[in-house]
Amino acid sequence: MLPGAALAYALTFFASDCYSELYGRQAAQVMVNVGFALNFVVLLLVFSTIQAPGRNPEFAETFASALGPSVTIVLGSLVAYLVSQNWDVVVFHEIRAVTGRDQLWLRNLVSTATSQAIDTVIFIAIAFYLAPTLLGVGAALPMQVLVGLTAGQYLLKLLIAVLDTPVVYLVVRLIGRPDSNTTFGAVADD
């Protein structure tokens, strides 16, 4: 099973790799952490909406049953995003410290492949196993289904990482690397 969000989310690693290459580690980590904060706001909005009293108890119950499982999805996504995106930035720049500006393809593939594995495992484990059990909003999925979800999502994300490498080169070439005097802290902060 491959939810559409897996495709969209896989593209965030493409964005962070482009941003890392163009503006440096510090700027990329700020971007990742701002994204986390915004995702956290979404979680709070969904949770507060479920908890808000409604005029019609039947509608409120239906609303809670429809949005309840999304809390586990958002929670899993939050934790996975924070860990994997920061990992992606760190690995990207560790490789860059060794390769300099050469071998962008290596930075992109290794950082994304490893961070996507971390992201997928954390997300699936929290969203479909731990959170439903601990929060009491549904049942945990069977292990066979969890393994299938993990494998399918990771393979899709890995394929995207391979396919997006030429696009990363194109974006970097079109935008151009700023010099070390830029206000973004650019490449000199690596």
Longest C-alpha distance within the chain, in Å?
A: 62
The answer to whether residue 190 is domain-embedded is no
pTM attached to this predicted model: 0.78
The answer to whether residue 184 is domain-embedded is no
Q: Where are the alpha helices (DSSP H) in 25-142?
A: 25-51, 57-99, 104-125, 131-135
Number of domains in the chain: 1
Q: What is the pLDDT along the chain (190 residues), one digit of tens a residue?
A: 556 666 677 778 888 898 999 999 999 999 999 988 987 887 788 777 777 766 777 777 777 777 666 778 888 888 999 999 999 999 999 999 999 989 999 999 999 999 999 999 999 999 999 988 887 777 889 999 999 999 999 998 899 889 999 999 999 999 987 654 443 334 434 4
The answer to whether residue 119 is domain-embedded is yes
What is the domain extent for residue 84? Answer: 4-176
Whole-angstrom Cα distance, residue 27 to residue 5?
A: 25
The closest alpha carbon to 104, from 28, 11, 173, belongs to 173
